[in-house]
Structure 1
Amino acid sequence: MWHEYICAMPSWHQGPGWYNCVFVSTDDMKEGMLSMDVAQVLCLFSFVHTNGQTFPCTLIHWFDQIADEPDKLTGMWMVALSFVEDSLHLTVIHIDSIICSMHLLPIFRDKYVPPYVNCHNSLDIFSRFYVSHFADHHMFKLVS
């Protein structure tokens, strides 16, 4: 058994914010990457219904899959930030929909990476990403 923490913090140790990316279960009838979507957690919260039941939720920003199959060169799936009519594609979901946290790698293309790009701002600077399945054995099996 294991557990992991998913963070959504505007400041981490009095520095830049930390907003994890996650896999969200969206289609139980499919397998691998086709059964999940990628999102960035922006806020964690809960509310109490009138019947007294508590619902733990999260506000997420969706990513869209760029293709229906992994990139032929890298073997990794590709995603892009999702927008609806020039606005962020945001949704509130139940926290039980989250499968696990995950890593995104910017698609650099053939351009030089500016020196100010770092792990804290790369999700804001780049718009397309590879879904890394090399984090560990479980991630490799989950995404493949």
Structure 2
Amino acid sequence: MRSERIRAVKSWRKGPRRYDTIFVNTDPSAHGMHGLDVARTRLFSFSYNGIKYPCALVDWFSCVDDVPNSNTGMWVVEPDILDDGTKFTSIIHLDSVVRATHLPVFGQDFISRTHTLSDTLDEFSSFYVNKYADHHLFEIAF
């Protein structure tokens, strides 16, 4: 088993913000993406009156379809947006976090030179769940 660092920080190495994306186990009886949801981390555990609460504040993503994209074999997700235009956000227990995930964007248009990596999840409307990023993702995101 390996470990990885999942970040939710306002400034990464004195630079732009970094809020990583994760797989959350929402249905342990289902296999692959049918039992997982994708979320973006916003804040991790906090302490109150000397008690540490192992939780995360996350923004949710939902799968666009019930099957992966036929051309890429990757699932497509989009941010969950409420009627008032805000992102659907909730608090989850850290035990439900499976691992980090990678959400690339592909398309035919050029991206502005002023675009930064930290803006990607806010500026685009859909993302691929990249199961080809590493061996573990390939086994999980089917």
For normalisation by structure 1, the TM-score amounts to 0.90
- Per the TM alignment, residue 47 of structure 1 is displaced from its structure 2 partner at its CA by 4.2
Contact 2:45 2:52 in 1 (8 A): no
Give the match for residue 46 of structure 2.
46
Contact 2:7 2:19 in 1 (8 A): yes
- Per the TM alignment, residue 122 of structure 1 is displaced from its structure 2 partner at its CA by 1.1
How many residues are aligned here? 141
Give the match for residue 81 of structure 1.
79
Distance 1:53 1:118 in 2: 37
Trace 1:89-100 onto structure 2 (pairs within 5 A).
Answer: 89-100=88-99
Distance 1:127 1:47 in 2: 34
Distance 1:48 1:121 in 2: 31
What stretches of structure 2 of length at least 5 have no aligned partner? none
Give the match for residue 69 of structure 2.
71
- Per the TM alignment, residue 48 of structure 1 is displaced from its structure 2 partner at its CA by 5.3
Q: Which residue among 111, 117, 129 is the counterpart of 1:131?
A: 129
CA 88–138 in structure 1, closer or farther in 2 if over 3 Å, else same = same
Distance 2:56 2:131 in 1: 24
What is the aligned-residue RMSD (CA, Å)?
1.6
For normalisation by structure 2, the TM-score amounts to 0.92
Give the match for residue 2 of structure 2.
2
Contact 1:64 1:82 in 2 (8 A): yes
Distance 2:96 2:46 in 1: 14
Distance 1:71 1:7 in 2: 28
Distance 2:120 2:51 in 1: 38
Letter of the 1:4 counterpart: E
Letter of the 1:113 counterpart: I
Contact 1:107 1:128 in 2 (8 A): no
Trace 1:92-131 onto structure 2 (pairs within 5 A).
Answer: 92-108=91-107, 110-131=108-129
Give the match for residue 22 of structure 1.
22
Contact 1:107 1:126 in 2 (8 A): no
